[in-house]
Amino acid sequence: MIVVMNVRMRFHVQIPAKVSIGDINVCYGNFWPGTARCSTTCLSRPMTKNWRNHRESFRHGNLPEALIAAALQRLEDDGQEAISLRELSRDVGVNHRAIYRHFPDRLSLMARVAEEGWRLLGATMRSAATSQKPGTRSLVAAGVALFVFARNRPNLFALMGGPNFQGRTKFPALDRSIGQTLELLRQGFLAAGTSQDAALKQALIYASALQGVVGQILWKRYRVLPKNAEGEVGRICEMLIKGLR
């Protein structure tokens, strides 16, 4: 039999070797419904922080990752304004106060979402770049991959490149994710013959220019037929690389 006693902060469990649904009983307070006192010794003390963490881990595997996944889904469905810590707590099935043990505020959680976005973008660009000859062709492939990523996940792309985290130094993991993507481009410029001193600067300019062009296409200010968009971005990438060199 499993015995569960839970009154706000009190919890007691007995677990036998074999369990069926009919063996599960719930005790409210120290009494079984319709009987005398609980036949076991209940632990009438507050639930410890370790147990609360364990319960979250049991339910979600990893609560921060569950929150990030829920935030990514809300972001793509409804945009940044639809994300609140209280709503996310409902999405993953925990009390909203549990979130604050992992993210002190909404901005911290959004920084982790942006970090995940840069990680996904970096992996996408790397896969495209490594399928081409290092240098100009790999840089073009990476640029087109950036456009495809942004087209498929426009709200995430807007968060990643938006002003929310500008000038802030309290999100080093986000900075590292961005740096890893820029390093991929830097290596491409080195392979194209750029000097060590200039490669990082050229990678920064290339990424910034691409971000602007892609944004204009997504916002339909730079008008191009959807079926021609990838080819157009590829040609723009070639122009940018040629101009930078």
Give pLDDT tens digits for 29-75: 333 344 444 444 443 334 334 434 434 443 545 888 999 999 999 99
Same domain, 92 and 131: no
Three-state DSSP class for residue 6: strand
What does the pLDDT read at residue 103?
A: 87
Three-state DSSP class for residue 5: strand
- Find all residues with CB under 8 Å of 72, minimum gap 6, and list them: 113, 116, 156
> Final residue of a domain: which of 85, 103, 121?
103
Q: Which domain holds residue 22?
A: 2-47
Same domain, 97 and 174: no
Q: For Cα atoms 152, 153, 156, give the angle at the middle one, nearest 5 degrees.
A: 165
Residue 83, domain CATH? 1.10.10
Average pLDDT over residues 169-191: 93
Same domain, 66 and 163: no
Same domain, 123 and 238: yes
Nearest to 148 by CA among 210, 192, 206, 208: 210
Average pLDDT over residues 124-134: 97
pTM, two decimals, is 0.72
Residues 145 and 135: their CA atoms lie apart, in Å, by 15
Please state, in angstroms and as integers, the Cα–Cα distance from residue 8 to each residue in 33, 46, 100, following that order. 17, 9, 19
> Residues 111, 174: contact at Cβ < 8 Å?
yes
Average pLDDT over residues 157-186: 87
Same domain, 127 and 223: yes
